[in-house]
Structure 1
Amino acid sequence: MTRGSLTARVLLLATLWAVIALVAIAIVISQLYRNGSERAFADLLRAQLNSVINTVSINDNGQLAGRPQLGDLVFDQPGSGWIWLVEPLTDVSGPRLSSVSLGQQDLDVPTLAEVPFDQRYLRYYPASDGFGNQLEVVETEVELDNQGRAARFRVAGNRDVLDDEIAGFSRNLYIALALFGIGSLLVNAVAILYGLRPLDHARQALGRIRAGEADQLDGAFPREIAPLAGEINALIDANRRVVERARMQVGNLAHSLKTPIAVLINEARDMTPAHAKLVRAQAETMQAQVQTYLDRARIAAQRGSVLARTEAAPVIERLVRVMAKLNRDLEFAADIDPQAAVLAMEAQDLEEALGNLIENAAKFARSKVVVRLRLVAARKDGQRAMFRIDVDDDGQGLDEAGMKEAVKRGRRLDESKPGTGLGLSIVNEIASEYQGSFALARAQTGGLSARLTLPGVETEA
């Protein structure tokens, strides 16, 4: 689909870019928030550690004394995962001090070799308590008096709370970006479709030209498309001039050859019968062949025109009426469906092809000739509709070998009938030049059916 549709290609690329950009933005923002939250968490633990240090001292008995109040009830709730702990070191006697949340448990503390102190004499490490909470611990050692007596201070925060907060933020971020992305894609789709509408207008204008409703691209196009429309109009004008020039040259050539050949035929009358017959026959053959090649040149010039259009029904009905007047002993009928069929060819070429077929059918028919037109392939995108015209007679007909022989140039299977043997070959050439086809088949009436398939433009009910 992307190969055949510019709109689909642009929408696909815009969608891919939007998805990639939004995913990247989500990852970056989520990571930045995580880093900021972890820094803030570490700063909070360090501030609480300083508060604990400031409220603990050595009493007269050489024991730890003090009751830190950190302003947060989570330190007084068992199993909350928020803990402070002070342990005596050198020359300090007595029990340790700890928050209610720790109870009688101990923290799983790594050795100094595993996690050393940093430049500020602090060390951070993960731990867990007896309630299954994942903790983040900050630890330091401080001298409490001028006698060098010291204690180890620890403050632990519940890491699960931090992770839950980060996960909640990321979840809300992803939802917000997803909604924003969907909205952006819809807006982009509308903008792209609106921006590409002039191309649709150009396509419709070309369709009107192909349908014979217009002879150039009409309408106001954007600056980016206007040069293309101008070039197409110039090409159509050049094509029209080429066709007109070819028609004029063909007419001039036909007129210049017509008189010499007519002179030869007239002069043959004064010759001896044997020579006259030979010269007349050869001159008539020359005349027919010259006309054939002139017609082919004319058709080749007209085939390149995008404006060649002919309504089939009037041509068929007119030819049937003429042939009925010329052959009063035969019945002629026209069966046309659809009536509004339009063929992509010149009217005179259609008349020449059908005229040859109907005239040929009239020569061999016993009582009736029927001309039928049917749609055999409906129009699709990039393809033309195809119509088939059958000219059936109720004569003797031909076998398979005779049908193949009949379409050869100059071949006459019945010498008793007048003609040059070029009619069916001319029809075949006209069909080929217009990218159609010609074939002979057995008619339902028992005679011969000449089937001419030609490209069409449109049909209307």
Structure 2
Amino acid sequence: MRIRSLTARVLILATLWSALALVTIAVAISALYRQGVERGFNNLLRAQLYNVVNSVSIGDSDSLTGSPALGDLRFSQPATGWYWLVEPLGNYATAPLASASLGVANLAVPDVEATPFDQNYERYYEMTDDVANHIRVAETEVVLDDQGRAARFRVSGNLQVVEDEIAFFTSRLYAALAVVGIGGLIVNGLAILYGLKPLDRARRALERIRRGEAERIEGDFPSEVQPLANEINALIDSNRRIVERARMQVGNLAHSLKTPIAVLLNEARTLEKNQAEVIATQAEAMQAQVSSYLNRARIAAQRDSVLARTEAQPVMERLARVMRKLNADILFELDVAPDLTFAMEQQDVEEVVGNLLENASRFARTKVVTKAVMTARDDEPTDGRRGWIEVVVEDDGPGLAPDQIGEALKRGRRLDESKPGTGLGLSIVKEISGEYQGSFGLSRAGIGGLRAQLILPAVTKDTA
């Protein structure tokens, strides 16, 4: 599974590396400590061995004599695994000497070929005594007098002492490394969170831009993040210039076409009635078509701009207020949910909602009802994270039959020739909503007339 969080990635990698490093360190230190303890144990046995050698000699009765004082009570306690033993070699026959801890027991002698003596004529080997103690034995052979009589000297120690010492050290070592590892992870986590804080500040700055609270990313960022902030600011500036250039071109084109169309309309008045009506109608249609396509070009230029936003409440209240003045005999009801913001330019919101209100006012008998609320879409066309606003305009007029609805949405079609207009209003609403990836539909209203439903993009806190 791909990990999307940078913090999680770094923490996981740091944890794995720390665990591997600490385990390696623990194994290495344990091995080195074991070698040191075993070397010290061997040195202790060697020192005790030569203490015994220096304490034993051949007495007047040609027997082995001596009382080694090793300073360790374990040599005087039975079955401890700590023993010393002196045995005559060759034709020299006498009783061996042994520590009280060995008693009447004996220690087996390994074959010299299997365990040879070193250059100091010493050898070390391990074995198990009669009471199951795992012991290590240090051995040497020494000539005791000028007659060549020799003896084998052996001193043993219980290896459990070594294992206990190593276990004690290892447990403390693992505990210390665990504390270091956990502390290191906590410090790494805090360092990562602190190090990524500038990215969080950059994210909040982008949120402010999307909500319309700022126009640029402001703030002092580290050298690794500042280039990203600069590039985003450059992108926003470029986007703004594109929108402004598109608006300027739209205005220039509209201005350049305004005069020729006005001339055509004026000239139409000097012609005969039938000809004048045809020319005026076509000029008005041409004027509406030019306006429509210029709007589409402008919308395409700024549709994805993060700066396009319009608060719903004031715009829709202003439109309703204008319609009330123009249609004093019709009741205009308006219900707009609080804190709604369109992700659209204000003039586009006014265009689509104004067209619907104007169309409803032509056919309403007594009332037009307008509502705006947040909604969700099943046919989400983008990434599923965008918010949507549903705008519904209903009138209590005659409405449209199902087969008439499709005709009403065609450009230039007027189902009622007795009403003024060019027949472009609903088609313009459909085109603008489509340019913003929204939707538009007509159906029967609950109050008897036509119901127009708009789905338009919204700015939300979750998507800002």
Task: Specify if TM > 0.5.
Answer: yes
C-alpha deviation, 1:402, in angstroms: 4.6
Asked if 1:445 corresponds to 2:447, the answer is yes
Cα–Cα, structure 1 residues 424 and 110, in superposed 2: closer, same or farther, change >3 Å? farther
Cα–Cα, structure 1 residues 439 and 158, in superposed 2: closer, same or farther, change >3 Å? farther
User: SS at the partner of 2:4?
Assistant: coil
- Residue type matched to 1:100 in 2? A
Match of 1:171 in 2: 171
Distance in 1 between residues matched to 2:21 and 2:86, nearest whole Å: 49
User: What TM-score does the superposition give when structure 1 sets the normalisation length?
Assistant: 0.90
CA deviation string 1:230-272 (max 9, x = no partner): 3322332232222222111100101111222233333344445
Q: Which range is displaced more, 160-169 or 91-100?
A: 91-100
- Residue type matched to 1:256 in 2? S
- Residue type matched to 1:454 in 2? L
Match of 1:55 in 2: 55
C-alpha deviation, 1:172, in angstroms: 0.7
- Residue type matched to 1:127 in 2? M
- Residue type matched to 2:18 in 1? A
User: What TM-score does the superposition give when structure 2 sets the normalisation length?
Assistant: 0.90
Match of 2:333 in 1: 333
Cα–Cα, structure 1 residues 394 and 58, in superposed 2: closer, same or farther, change >3 Å? farther
Cα–Cα, structure 1 residues 93 and 233, in superposed 2: closer, same or farther, change >3 Å? same
C-alpha deviation, 1:295, in angstroms: 0.2
Cα–Cα, structure 1 residues 459 and 197, in superposed 2: closer, same or farther, change >3 Å? closer
User: SS at the partner of 1:200?
Assistant: helix
User: SS at the partner of 1:33?
Assistant: helix
Match of 2:393 in 1: 391
Match of 1:376 in 2: 375
Match of 2:254 in 1: 254
Distance in 2 between residues matched to 1:382 and 1:136, nearest whole Å: 75
C-alpha deviation, 1:335, in angstroms: 0.7
- 1:179-190 residue pairs with structure 2 within 5 A? 179-190=179-190
| Count of aligned residue pairs for this structure pair | 457
User: SS at the partner of 2:260?
Assistant: helix
Distance in 2 between residues matched to 1:424 and 1:280, nearest whole Å: 21
Q: What 5-or-longer segments of structure 1 have no aligned partner? A: none
Match of 2:346 in 1: 347
Match of 2:364 in 1: 365
Distance in 2 between residues matched to 1:26 and 1:351, nearest whole Å: 73
Distance in 2 between residues matched to 1:402 and 1:135, nearest whole Å: 106
Match of 1:145 in 2: 145
Q: What 5-or-longer segments of structure 2 have no aligned partner? A: 378-382
- 1:1-400 residue pairs with structure 2 within 5 A? 3-338=3-338, 340-376=339-375, 383-398=385-400
Cα–Cα, structure 1 residues 333 and 220, in superposed 2: closer, same or farther, change >3 Å? same
Q: Which range is displaced more, 280-289 or 193-202?
A: 280-289
Cα–Cα, structure 1 residues 83 and 355, in superposed 2: closer, same or farther, change >3 Å? same
C-alpha deviation, 1:292, in angstroms: 0.9
Cα–Cα, structure 1 residues 259 and 374, in superposed 2: closer, same or farther, change >3 Å? same
Match of 1:424 in 2: 426
CA deviation string 1:171-217 (max 9, x = no partner): 11111111122222222222222222222222111111111111112
- Residue type matched to 1:435 in 2? Q
Match of 1:407 in 2: 409
Correspondence for 1:454 among 447, 453, 456: 456
C-alpha deviation, 1:218, in angstroms: 1.7
C-alpha deviation, 1:40, in angstroms: 1.1
User: SS at the partner of 1:360?
Assistant: helix
Distance in 2 between residues matched to 1:3 and 1:405, nearest whole Å: 52
User: SS at the partner of 1:253?
Assistant: helix
Q: Which range is displaced more, 349-358 or 129-138?
A: 129-138
Distance in 2 between residues matched to 1:382 and 1:7, nearest whole Å: 25
Distance in 2 between residues matched to 1:444 and 1:109, nearest whole Å: 111
Distance in 1 between residues matched to 2:408 and 2:155, nearest whole Å: 108
> Percent identical across equivalent pairs?
62
